[in-house]
Amino acid sequence: MRAMILAAGLGTRLLPLTNSRPKALIPLRGVTMLEFWIERLYRCGFEAVFLNAYYLKDRLAAAVSQRQWPIPVTVLNESVLLGTGGGIKAAVERLGCEPFAVVNADIVCNANLNSLYERHKLSGAEASLLLHDCPQFNNVAVSEDGFVLGFGREAQDLLKKDKCVRLMAFTGIHFINPSALSGAAAGVQADILDIYRSLMTRGACPRAITEQGLFWREMGSVESYRKLTGELAQLEPGRLLPLRTREHITLDPQTIIHPDCTLKGSVVAGRDVQICEGVSLENVILWDDIRIEKGSSLTDCIVADGMSISGRHSGKIFARAVQPGEILLPCQ
């Protein structure tokens, strides 16, 4: 079994955090999204992972090359942003002749991927989409017999015409036969949903698959990232391995913290973080290479890499502005 992680996106909804990191390298309580998905795929029996890269692709490539992964991980650079469909099409020859899994880099999910993969193979469908009921995102029309009929506005129109149609949400996890992409043009930008629409017109509608007890969160915006970081501290241990759950204070071994500090709520501190004397932190996320100066107070703040912060702050995001031509050092 092989899998692809979609990691080329610009991460505009996560700005300014994505000034210096692509979405796949955003950390959740000390574990990047890249680490989370590679570990999940490995645990589910996948043998190789491919990820497409465009935005800050040198940082992504460096992060992959600097680690010893449990399964082979290959970065596929895009010279132009190809989109979800174009990126998968560009990788399809590397993914082999068997069905493969695709996951978005900005979601967290506990799906049993190997079981879903087998269900897809047995279904005989060209593609299978993992769906769930999430009212905020329910925009996929599903027939009574479990086929995907449309997305977005067309799904809403189908619901009006046929009360047997139900709306569900796409998780960003799908299983695809290489033949599903045979009609897609190579090297051009494309949306995978448009490729699925083409399958529908040929009478080969994708299958809708579901899983009981699914935990799913998207992390595509600053607010959803902040919320999920806090939520993980409330979840039972081991539910979303390798993420650290039921842990309100998460400190990297290289964090230096003065004994005269106050930490409240959910606090995360990454590598090479120095928290000086008299600092008060409450519901704060600190990435790497950060110094919080003596006597400072931060509440509901996010601090990205390489910052030095002093004073009293609430509800702020601190991130470096990227200058034209600037070369950023890779994440370790």
Q: Is the pLDDT at 325 greater than 70, yes or no?
A: no
d(CA 150, CA 173): 17
Question: What pTM was computed for the model?
Answer: 0.92
CA distance 222 to 227: 9
Q: Are 206 and 126 in contact (CB under 8 A)?
A: yes
> Vertex 33, ends 32 and 39: CA angle to 5°?
90
**How far, in Å, CA of 195 to CA of 82, rounded?**
13
pLDDT tens digits, 202-242: 999 999 999 999 999 999 899 999 999 999 999 999 889 99
R_g of the chain, CA atoms, integer Å? 21
Residues of the chain with CATH 2.160.10: 248-332
pLDDT in tens, 40-61: 999 999 999 999 999 999 999 9
Contact in structure between 169 and 218 (CB atoms under 8 Å): no
Residue 305 reports pLDDT greater than 50: yes
- Check if the beta carbon of residue 254 is closer than 8 Å to that of residue 271: yes
| Euclidean distance between CA atoms 132 and 151, whole angstroms | 14
What lies within 8 Å, CB to CB, of 103 at 6+ separation is 3, 4, 5, 6, 37, 41, 109, 172, 173
- Angle between the N-to-C axes of helices 192-201 and 83-95, in degrees from 0 to 180, rounded to the nearest 10: 80
Residue 263 has pLDDT above 50, yes or no: yes
CA distance 175 to 2: 10
List pLDDT tens digits, range 189-201.
Answer: 999 999 999 999 9
Is 232 exposed, middle or buried, given 0-12, 13-18 or 19+ CB atoms closer than 10 A?
A: buried
pLDDT computed for residue 38 by the predictor? 98
**How far is residue 329's CA from residue 169's CA, in Å, rounded to a whole number?**
37
What is the predicted pLDDT for the residue at 332?
Answer: 36
Pairing assessment for the beta strands 48-53 and 2-6 based on DSSP bridges: parallel
Per-residue pLDDT at 326: 44
**Which residue bears the tokens 């029996």?**
45
Q: Which of 4-8, 211-215, 275-279, 328-332 has the lowest mean pLDDT?
A: 328-332
Q: How far apart are alpha carbons 133 and 211 in whole angstroms?
A: 11
Q: What is the pLDDT of residues 282-303, one digit of tens each?
A: 999 999 999 999 999 999 999 9
Assigned token pair, 35? 């680490």
Q: What is the pLDDT of residues 13-42, one digit of tens each?
A: 999 999 999 999 999 999 999 999 999 999
Q: Tell me the residue type at 29.
A: R
- Cβ pair 35, 73 in contact under 8 A: no
Query: Is the predicted pLDDT of residue 253 greater than 90, yes or no?
Result: yes
Any alpha helices (H) in 96-216, and if so which ranges? 113-123, 153-161, 192-201
Across 61-81, average pLDDT: 96
What mean pLDDT do residues 242-258 have?
Answer: 95
Domain with CATH 3.90.550.10 in the chain: 2-218
Q: What percent of the chain has pLDDT over 90?
A: 89
Instruction: Judge whether residue 328 has pLDDT over 50.
Output: no
pLDDT of the residue at 329: 39
SS3 299: strand
Nearest Cα to 168, choosing from 192, 144, 204? 144
Mean pLDDT (the chain) is 94
CATH class of segment(s) 248-332: mainly beta
Report whether CATH 3.90.550.10 matches the domain 2-218.
Answer: yes
Other CB atoms within 10 Å distance of the CB of residue 75: 19
How far apart CA 11 and CA 14 sit, in angstroms, is 5
196: β partners: none
> Each residue of 131-166: pLDDT tens digit?
999 999 999 999 999 999 999 999 888 888 887 899
Per-residue confidence at 322, pLDDT binned at 50, 70, 90?
low
> Cα dist. 308→290, 291, 292, 311, 312 in Å?
6, 5, 6, 11, 13
